Amino acid sequence: MITATTLTVRSAPHPNLNYVVTADGQKLDIPADWACLKPGDAAVTKTLKSLGPSWTAVRQKGRKTFSDGVWAPRANIAQAQAMVAEKRADPAYARKRAADLQRRQEKQDRYCDSFRQALIIWLDFHPRYGALAQQLAAEIALHATPVGSGTVARTERIPLNERAGAAVIAWLRHQATPYESLRIARVKGRRREVRRELAQQSVRLLNRYRNGELIKPETCPLLKALAKTVTQGRVNPETGLTGEQ
């Protein structure tokens, strides 16, 4: 029996699935006394893997890999769940957990603040549009900084200022251009070309704000997109567009 491996499952586990497929295409019959622990509780999963043989199932969809859970003896799954439940019932664990959550939240708050400031610096709007830059940065940060969002703001592979610039262009592409409704030909590289063209369009618009040009709200896609955030209650109207134009 294979004691530990990563399995590529062709479809999500279901009651009638009696085998799994390894990365190299080998079929493995699932033992009768095994079950699948669905993903969602990292502590139980980690404990389960420490108790004995297990198969970590993953599923490929495009370029992304998704977890389908961990196959292991039913008895081990029950034991892992019981062990984690007992640990979580300890008051000391609750205190430690609360302290950990507080530290994570403080770290997240610091990052949100620094990212919002990086956005304002990257936008570099003329003083006439200082309040608008604040509002735009707040809205983009609200969308881009949540943990697990998978946005460019969460990657540490590029400098903060580059993350800020990429986040601005991405937000404008989805909120202030017709990108979402475009019918893009399924030709290799065409989507990348469209994104590049829209990015150039967004940069030209941003440059108008950097130069302090007078812009009519009714004709500006950026202002229209931000106006929606006011009606949806995501920003304070007092720091919005009223009185700033």
Give DSSP secondary structure letters for 163-199.
Answer: HHHHHHHHHHHHHSSGGGG------TTHHHHHHHHHH
**Do 228 and 124 fall into the same domain?**
yes
SS3 label, residue 60: strand
Does residue 40 form part of some domain? yes
Domain that residue 114 falls in: 94-239
Mean pLDDT of all residues in 19-35: 82
- Report the share of the chain in percent with pLDDT over 90: 50
Most confident option among 149-163, 196-210, 228-242: 196-210
Mean pLDDT of all residues in 23-34: 82
**Do 128 and 13 fall into the same domain?**
no
The band of 60, judged by pLDDT with boundaries at 50, 70 and 90, is confident
- Let me know: does 206 contact 223? Beta carbons within 8 Å: no
**Do 81 and 100 fall into the same domain?**
no
**Do 115 and 45 fall into the same domain?**
no
Backbone dihedral angles phi then psi of residue 93, each to the nearest 5 degrees: -65, -40
Predicted confidence at residue 15, as pLDDT, reads 53
**Do 84 and 98 fall into the same domain?**
no
**Do 213 and 126 fall into the same domain?**
yes
Quick one: tokens of 117? 């400031």
Mean pLDDT taken over the chain: 84
Domain boundary among 68, 89, 110: 89
**Do 54 and 146 fall into the same domain?**
no
Total structural domains within the chain: 2
Backbone dihedral angles phi then psi of residue 200, each to the nearest 5 degrees: -65, -40
Domain boundary among 41, 70, 89: 89
**Do 23 and 127 fall into the same domain?**
no
Tell whether the model's pLDDT for residue 85 goes beyond 50. yes
Q: pTM of the entire structure?
A: 0.65
| Strand 4-8 versus strand 54-61 pairing type | parallel
The band of 136, judged by pLDDT with boundaries at 50, 70 and 90, is very high
Does residue 222 form part of some domain? yes
**Do 166 and 74 fall into the same domain?**
no
pLDDT digits (tens, 9 = 90+) for 140-199: 998 888 887 778 778 888 899 999 999 999 999 999 998 888 888 888 888 889 999 999
The band of 68, judged by pLDDT with boundaries at 50, 70 and 90, is confident
Domain boundary among 72, 89, 106: 89
